[in-house]
A and B are shown apart, each in its own frame.
Chain A
Amino acid sequence: MNFDDTPQEAAFRAEAKAWIAANAPKQYEDELRKSSLGRTALRDANILEVAKVWQKKKADAGWACLHWPKEYGGRGSSPIERVIWQQEEGPFGKLSGIFIIGHGMCGPTMMAFAGEAEKKKYLPPLASGEKVWCQLFSEPAGGSDVAGLRTRAEKKGDDWIINGQKIWTSGAHYSDYGILLTRTDPNVAKHKGLTMFFLDMKSPGVDIRPIKQASGQSDFNEVYFTDVKIPDSQRLGAVNDGWNVSLTTLMNERMSIGAGVSTGFPELFDFCNSLMLDDGPAIEDRNVRSRLANYAVKASGLKYTSMRAISALSKGDRPGPENSIGKLVAGSMVQEVAMYALDLQGAAGALSGPEDAEIAGKFQAMLLRAPGTRVEGGTDEIMRNIIAERVLGLPGDIRVDKDVPFNKIPTNGRA
């Protein structure tokens, strides 16, 4: 048992470290290091532009999408090299946020299902960040029940005509392309009538409307489709086999490990180390210490769970299912941490303006963003179902809509 690199890994790490030291946008390092959930903007620059420049620079030097094949813009690296890169990239990795969906989900789906000409055309600019991709799955009638989606695709000549609405599409407003899951046959059971496509987000008939979130920010969108035309050459997988294609996408999401999830603990520990309460330093208060210790062991438990998964990668094994706990644990923890940090501030905890709030309102921003983390990418409840069914082997829930044609399933009243 050790934390040491193999000689090969050490050589890779040294090379990555040296390149990052020579090329990373250092002027933003401090700001990126201090950024936390709900607070990742840069003060004097557009983070989207900074991120694109950094990604392009990485791509030109062969450091983008490390685990992708070279011909599609990657480096052909092993999974462990990708993790080492992420460790060395450190705070600059936060600039990859806008590419996560494209690189982690759309790219692998394209690689598995697109034609060779499409792969050669679309993947390299996706890897280099010149083109940003989004994923259009969730709908008002299909969130956790994503196979309940209603956006229609109808064949007309060599094209497909799309009508419907997507929601919670991260980054649609700055995306160039998207992968889109549609219903092509409403007369069969819901999982059996879906088809996947990719499309140009600038296509006529695509209407993108930002959602003002409960946090007041707008990271997500509603996307409306009115007679949008997609050529059949942009279909991914067979007609009506979209559910299986989407499972590939989602499986790749689970493989994106090592990036780390935000727990809020390092921020809280720092805060408590400097905070003075009425009767002395917060860190010497018995209640504070007890709460901190409880958060500390969750944060370290997640950290070392991730180390175990990385070790499996290092040996060439696939990471086990234990990695599925990360989002579930971190999501509710970051929310509790934020609430506790406000509690420690007393009445002033309600203040969120950067000038008046403690540490510029970091915990207030975290608090307001936190409810989303427990919903996006699978709700806490869906994550528990996944653990119970796929890890512990418990039976699936009884599904009353399983063998019913999609258009006969009861709804909230819409056709």
Chain B
Amino acid sequence: MNFDFSDEQKQMRDAARKFLTEKCPPKAVREVLDGKATYDKALWTGLAEMGFLGVAIPEEFGGAGAGHLELCVIAEEMGRALAPVPFASTVYLAAEALLLAGSDAQKQKWLPKIASGEAIGTLALFEGKGNPSPQAIKLSASGGTLNGVKKPVPDGAIADFAIVAARTGSTGRDADISLFLVDLKAGGVEVRSLTNIDPTHGQAELTFKNCKAEPLGAAGDGWSILTQVLDRAAVLVAFEQVGGSDRALEMGRDYALDRIAFGRPIGSFQAVKHILADMYVSATLARSNCYYGAWALSTNASELPEAAAAARISATQAFQHCSKNNIQVHGGMGFTWEFDCHMYYRRANATAVTLGSLSYWEDQLIDRMRKKNAA
């Protein structure tokens, strides 16, 4: 049994950490947090040069053709550094959808541009509050044109193209949903930036008015493709969440060692130690669930739906738990804008809902476990 990343994959993780420590310090994250930039363009270019944007994209489409285990270790580092770039929307959502359902021409057009950093992509799924469901998709498609409103769309204001979930039927079945690919620079889409709890990752409203669109995948296959894309993205985002959890735990630990109160480091008080021990526990459980998700993702195992839901739930819980208690360990300083704690708290709570909420994934997990049990 070798339920671990290989030495080469660990080296890639080290390289990513070294690169991000240098190119993406908290100061760089704050440029976007404070609204001085919509995303870190220099970092985005650097990630392309490092080969990280196309690490799981096959060589024939301009990528490195390494694989999803490699992408997982990079995702962990992106989360750890709170990288303020459209990595998740472009690489986990748009690229995965193209790889799963794109025509050869679509892949040839967009995947090399993703790998080279020339194109930012996203997935336009949600229409207001609520979780992923075919019934919630009202945006309509007919005759190759789209009409309707999507929000929130991650990185929608800076994206060059979007995969759009649209209604093409009204039978009440999953087959009513189809996917489309829209070049957002070609006109027909109004874009409005939305204020959100984590300004380091933008959100937008996209209004489609008789917008020209090309189908992605077969008509009626949209929901089935979306489900797969969300599962794959769930594992990858979970690795970002685990990276963030670990960093929040380290920040809390370091502060507890450094901060003196009542004449001793606060980390010598059991009340503080036990908070940190519980953070370690949740981060460790999440990491182990994520490793299983990584295995299922990289091997396209039939266990992926269940593994993805478990990784998603566990990592969401861990990041929320670690980021809120990191603030608690810091006391008053943790509640200042100046300290970085709130950036992790913001990211944790934004990523907790961006792919659908905790309760949605809990429901999915039990459904999937029941199916396996019945089989």
Contact = CB atoms under 8 A, between A and B. Distances in A.
Interface residues of A, number: 51
Nearest to A311: B3
Interface in B120-152: none
B367 to A, nearest CB: 8
A57 interface: no
Interface stretch (B44-52, B106-114, B285-293, B336-344): B285-293
Contact of B274 (A1, A4, A381): A381
A388 B277 contact: yes
A296 interface: yes
Contact of A283 (B5, B289, B359, B370): B370
Interface in B1-15: 1-6
A302 B309 CA distance: 16
Contacts of B313: 293-294, 297
Mostly, the A contact residues are helix
A414 interface: no
B295 A1 contact: yes
Contacts of B284: 301, 305, 322, 325
Nearest to B366: A289
A385 interface: yes
From A5, A293, A311, A395, residue with most partner B Cβ within 10 Å:
A293
A388 B273 contact: yes
A387 B285 CA distance: 14
Given A273-B373, A293-B313, A307-B3, A300 B277 contact: no
Contact of B288 (A289, A307, A312): A307
A393 interface: yes
A305 B268 CA distance: 27
B4 A1 contact: yes
A324 to B, nearest CB: 9
Interface in B259-309: 264-265, 267-268, 270, 272-274, 276-278, 280-281, 284-286, 288-289, 291-292, 294-295, 298, 309
Contacts of B285: 297-298, 301-302, 305, 325, 329
B218 interface: no
Mostly, the B contact residues are helix
A1 B6 contact: yes
Contacts of B277: 383-385, 387-388, 392
Interface in B319-375: 359, 361-363, 365-366, 369-370, 373
B42 interface: no
A315 to B, nearest CB: 7
Contact of A293 (B69, B281, B288, B365): B365
Interface residues of B, number: 48
Contacts of B294: 1
Given A5-B1, A283-B370, A297-B317, A394 B256 contact: yes
A278 interface: no
Nearest to B252: A392
Nearest to B365: A293
A283 B276 CA distance: 34
Interface of B: 1-6, 69, 249, 253, 256-257, 264-265, 267-268, 270, 272-274, 276-278, 280-281, 284-286, 288-289, 291-292, 294-295, 298, 309-310, 313-314, 317, 359, 361-363, 365-366, 369-370, 373
Top-5 shortest CB links A-B: A301-B285, A293-B362, A388-B273, A304-B288, A384-B277
Interface of A: 1-5, 9, 80, 269, 273, 283, 286, 289-290, 292-294, 296-298, 300-305, 307-308, 310-312, 314-315, 322, 325, 328-329, 381, 383-385, 387-389, 391-398
Given A1-B5, A392-B276, 18 more contacts: A1-B3, A2-B3, A293-B309, A293-B363, A293-B365, A297-B289, A298-B314, A300-B288, A304-B288, A311-B3, A383-B277, A384-B278, A388-B273, A389-B273, A393-B257, A394-B256, A394-B267, A395-B267
